[in-house]
Amino acid sequence: MESRHSIHHVLLLVLFGLSALCQCSATGVEANQTAVLLVNASEASARRIPDTLFGIFFEEINHAGAGGLWAELVNNRVLFYLSASFLETSGFEGGGPNVPSNIDPWSIIGDESKVIVSTDRSSCFDRNKIAVQVQVLCDHTGANICPDGGVGIYNPGFWGMNIEQGKSYKLVLYVRSEESVNVSVALTGSNGLQKLAAANIVAADVSSWTKVEILLEATGTDPNSRLELRSSKKGVIWFDQVSLMPTDTYKGHGFRKDLFGMLKDLKPAFIRFPGGCFVEGDWLRNAFRWKETIGQWEERPGHFGDVWNYWTDDGLGHFEFLQLAEDLDSLPVWVFNNGVSHHDQVDTSSILPFVQEILDGLEFARGDPTSTWGSIRAKMGHPEPFDLRYVAIGNEDCGKTQYRGNYLKFYTAIKDKYPDIKIISNCDGSTRPLDHPADLYDFHIYSSASSVFSNARHFDSAPRRGPKAFVSEYAVTGNDAGKGSLLAALGEAGFLIGVEKNSEAIEMASYAPLFVNDNDRRWNPDAIVFTSSQMYGTPSYWMQHFFKESNGATLLSSSLQANPSNSLIASAITWRNSLDNNDYLRIKVVNFGTTAVITKISLTGLGQNSLETLFGAVMTELTSNNVMDENSFREPNKVIPVKTQVEKVSDNMDVVLAPRSLNSIDFLLRKSINNNVDTASVLKSSC
């Protein structure tokens, strides 16, 4: 997504959208509208929907990864900070190796008569030179007695660590001191009083850097906990690389289980990562560079994401993104920097090192375990190649002067080595042909609800041959959306029905952004809202559930006769339910208007199938009393899909569509006797 410049644009569209809505309701008819939906289920007019059509897009924005899906609890485990003027390193690392580092958000326990905390460049990790030095001035005896529990430092996590009773947490840190040490480590409630877990690091000789690993088991629960390191013994102690991970992440792969589950439930066919603008950077020096994000975490320098303004330690790196895709059973779509940021660009004549970096990244993902980069992947625990088939050259860079030149260098080099990899261009090919080779072209849409809804027809005229569309970012934004309204979800659902119907021209689509940590809203709205311990889906998240069975399903021909026709849109598919192995016919309809609509559904061409009338049908509805309703931590289920059983079904039946609603109706299909006869004869002839 574009970060700043797009705001005016969005506002204009919103104003325009609102005035359009007002006109509609002024001339709107009060009585119930009626409509007829004709569905022709005949195979001759059906078409297979791409297996990849609906997926997700993960960007490191809104603390989606750091302090989100990535379960690390220590914020700035290597130390980094952003000053008012420019960025300085903080954490034990932020700001880069040569800038005096700040320990933010670490804080000091004890006043300056008892303890002095500073940083220096004494770490044993070459790419993370900064360590924190804790000079304990007080003691357990003598004139300067330490306060109860001792003095030291604590880390508040990302707006509080969620510590839960009975769960265990793996603490890793590096320690050094000229004297023997007795450091008490503890997980405490936010005021430091309630102890949830504690241990002592007692060591006679830590004169050289010593790695300490402790499993902490929590005896209490607090979503706003912190990690404390304290001592009551006079002397100087250095700490470096402090990490605290819950042990029950998804498969032990480091993903926060509850948030991972929200993604898995969407059955995403693909996951595009790691951005977005995050990939570009405001400046190239702050762009995501995959080589800095692999190997052991202690050696990852981390970087400052200058578009969304926060530091990430890159614990969620290139390997982890590929692992995430695999764990979700989705295809990875790697977006890489093509030498173009928001403010600076690499000239095409100097782009070759960047191209080599990407070829290495592909070898890392797909190469043999004996290859240079494949062997590093194998060492990280994944000897099998990852199933990387899609890459995007840049994000929203089509208009940049160096884009085409750079693009062609990447394109040629990748196709040469990996001819099967599908390459995505940033240039929109939906209205005119691309002037360069590509397998797919990016299409982004952020607009008002009515504008997104009416863009369902945008791809009616898009080319059916040549590069396919990847709608890699879509969302209703602005006043229509707030922090995630029903209205936004309805606009998007209408758009996705259009995507489904035009899936000859579109191969993939994903909503943006996926996540927001409620403490760091850089962008509204988002699909999933969370804090350290809570989460909920916005209506746009639940809207996506209506489409998760469409990947690889069969699109039936359907037509809608309605008056007025511009506030309804519908599609029909047949899909196989992997849980019961049955085939279902699903109709989806958005009623974007403000009145109920009685819709006659007329099914023809069922052929060898018939409706299983005993089953009836299941109707799922997403609606609410007020179209601006949103979910919240207080009311997470205010706007969610509601299922009802339809008892009587026939191939010619009426359904009532509530005003402002998204509906799906699933009919169970049954093979008729004819078909059994066919199967039997086939079996016979094969004997």
Chain residues binding ligand NAG by CB under 6 A are 31-32, 40, 42, 44-45, 182, 184, 200, 202, 232, 596, 604-605, 656
Give the integer Cα–Cα distance in Å for 234 and 137.
5
Closer of 45 and 372 to ligand NAG (Cβ) = 45
What does 326-357 look like in DSSP terms, one character per residue?
A: HHTT-EEEEEE--SB-SS-B--GGG-HHHHHH
- Do β-strands 422-425 and 331-336 pair in parallel, antiparallel, or remain unpaired? unpaired
- Do β-strands 161-163 and 33-40 pair in parallel, antiparallel, or remain unpaired? unpaired
Closer of 503 and 524 to ligand NAG (Cβ) = 503
Give the integer Cα–Cα distance in Å for 251 and 327.
9
What ranges make up the beta strands (E) of 178-316? Answer: 181-188, 195-203, 210-217, 222-231, 235-246, 270-273, 303-305, 310-312
Give the integer Cα–Cα distance in Å for 17 and 452.
10
Closer of 124 and 198 to ligand NAG (Cβ) = 198
CB of 185 to ligand NAG, least distance (A): 10
CB of 449 to ligand NAG, least distance (A): 24
- Do β-strands 222-231 and 151-155 pair in parallel, antiparallel, or remain unpaired? antiparallel
Give the integer Cα–Cα distance in Å for 196 and 116.
26
Closer of 43 and 347 to ligand NAG (Cβ) = 43
Closer of 595 and 632 to ligand NAG (Cβ) = 595
CB of 115 to ligand NAG, least distance (A): 15
Length of the chain, in residues: 687
CB of 654 to ligand NAG, least distance (A): 9
Closer of 44 and 614 to ligand NAG (Cβ) = 44
Beta pairing partners, 57: 272
Q: What is residue 394's three-state secondary structure?
A: coil
CB of 406 to ligand NAG, least distance (A): 46
CB of 146 to ligand NAG, least distance (A): 9
CB of 198 to ligand NAG, least distance (A): 9
Give the integer Cα–Cα distance in Å for 463 and 450.
24
**Selection from 486, 538, 445 nearest residue 662 by Cα:** 486
Instruction: Assess whether the previous peptide bond of 100 is cis (omega < 30° from 0).
Output: no
Give the integer Cα–Cα distance in Å for 68 and 248.
15
CB of 431 to ligand NAG, least distance (A): 29
The CA dihedral of 322, 323, 328, 332, to the nearest 10 degrees, is: 10
CB of 667 to ligand NAG, least distance (A): 17
Q: Are 570 and 493 in contact (CB under 8 A)?
A: no
Closer of 146 and 662 to ligand NAG (Cβ) = 146
CB of 73 to ligand NAG, least distance (A): 22
Closer of 200 and 371 to ligand NAG (Cβ) = 200
Closer of 383 and 607 to ligand NAG (Cβ) = 607
CB of 588 to ligand NAG, least distance (A): 20
CB of 184 to ligand NAG, least distance (A): 4
Closer of 90 and 231 to ligand NAG (Cβ) = 231
Closer of 261 and 607 to ligand NAG (Cβ) = 607
Closer of 152 and 539 to ligand NAG (Cβ) = 152
What does 600-666 look like in DSSP terms, one character per residue?
A: EEEEE--TTEEE-TTT-EEEEEE--SSTT-B--SSSTTSS--EEEEE----SEEEEEEPSSEEEEEE
Give the integer Cα–Cα distance in Å for 75 and 330.
29
Sign of the four-CA dihedral 364, 369, 375, 380:
positive
What does 55-83 look like in DSSP terms, one character per residue?
A: -EE--S-TTSTBTTTB----TTSSEEEE-
Helices 403-417 and 352-366, packing angle to 10 deg: 40
